[in-house]
A = this chain, B = another copy of it.
Amino acid sequence: MHIHIENDPAGPQALQLSETLLWQRLQANPALQGKFTLSENHDPQHLAEFLLVADIVWAGRKFPLYQHAADATRLRWVQVISAGVESWLEKWPDAVQLTNASGVHGEKGAEFILMSALMFNYGIPGFLQDQANQQWRPVFGGCARGKKVLLLGLGGIGAAAAALLTRQGYEVVGVTRSGQSTATVARCISIEEVDAELADTDVLVSTLPLTPETDGLFSRERLAKLPSRAGVIIVGRARVFDYDALSERLNAGTLAGAVLDVFYEEPLPQGDALWQVPRLIMTPHCSLDDHGAYLEGCLTLFLQNLERYLAGEPLINRVSTQKGY
């Protein structure tokens, strides 16, 4: 059986998987040694040749698989190293399983969300504005304990964040498609029930993927239901939210703040109005990714999945190409 590693020559070195490393890890595992041949590619122009022989692809970069349908006749499984997979789904072949890297980001993502929630609690976005204006205006607020977090999405990052926020004393209301979850939350509701929860929300967190259902979900009308004390944290996909409407509320001073790690266009273009929105704190799409630990996390997941694949068991993190996550 053949595993092809398709690396991204434009990506960070820390995210390139070498054939040598994978070979060593396969050899070290009695269930996997001797079962696979390997190839590794860094030149997108040569992908087609490798797809002729690949049963399994480790995808370190995105490519439109449907353009290679005629070549990739042996292909049965693609493991991607990102969590969001919306760009993969166009004309996805039924015969190929798609698995993502959801959960590998858990610890760092959860910690970033906790930090961001506490920043609202301690008034940091407002104090930064006061500092720029040389204004001394103390605010003596309370602790996180008992404040309400509405947490959209309880996948790998969302579930880890729910546990950490709960431990800090936040009341976490989780939001999932089904309204069900095994994550550590005070309550779990479905996306349809979200409107009734917004008026007393202190912190709104989105870890949602981009799907036809989530695209534009937080419209101007929905954002308008948040109270002025609320802060918004977005680490999932940007297009779930109306950033213009969010900016307007921040410009009007009717939100406590926002911490955004994701944007419609990345890098955010110079001159974009978002750069200067008050009470908006931006991180350049790096707050979930721990490059020191990420490749190893993805590789561990892949090796577990290879064992399952050989045993005919369901793969971890299999994406529903209908749901889109």
Contact = CB atoms under 8 A, between A and B. Distances in A.
A48 interface: no
A143 B275 contact: no
A294 B292 CA distance: 43
Contacts of A167: 167
A186 interface: no
Q: Is the interface of A mostly helix, strand, loop or mixed?
A: loop
A285 interface: yes
A281 to B, nearest CB: 7
Interface in A273-325: 275, 281-287, 289-294
Contact of A118 (B14, B118, B123, B140): B118
A269 to B, nearest CB: 9
A209 to B, nearest CB: 20
B168 A124 contact: no
A121 to B, nearest CB: 8
Interface in A145-177: 145, 167-168
A143 B14 contact: no
B271 A136 contact: no
Given A115-B115, A115-B118, A136-B267, A128 B286 contact: no
A252 to B, nearest CB: 20
Nearest to A108: B143
Given A108-B143, A128-B128, A168-B111, A284 B138 contact: yes
Given A122-B112, A275-B131, A140 B283 contact: no
Contacts of A118: 111-112, 114-115, 118
Q: Output the residue of A12, A140, A275 with the most chain B CB within 10 A.
A: A140
A67 interface: no
Contacts of A134: 270-272, 275
A131 to B, nearest CB: 5
A267 B138 CA distance: 9
A290 B140 contact: yes
A272 B135 CA distance: 11
A136 B268 contact: yes
Nearest to A120: B115
20 contacts: A107-B143, A111-B122, A112-B118, A114-B118, A115-B121, A115-B124, A118-B118, A122-B283, A122-B287, A123-B283, A127-B282, A127-B283, A131-B282, A134-B271, A136-B268, A136-B284, A138-B284, A140-B289, A140-B294, A142-B290
Given A119-B124, A136-B267, 20 more contacts: A107-B143, A107-B145, A108-B143, A111-B118, A111-B122, A111-B144, A115-B119, A122-B283, A123-B283, A128-B128, A130-B284, A131-B275, A131-B281, A134-B271, A136-B268, A140-B291, A142-B292, A142-B293, A143-B290, A167-B167
Interface of A: 12, 14, 107-108, 111-112, 114-115, 118-119, 121-124, 127-128, 130-131, 134, 136-145, 167-168, 266-268, 270-272, 275, 281-287, 289-294
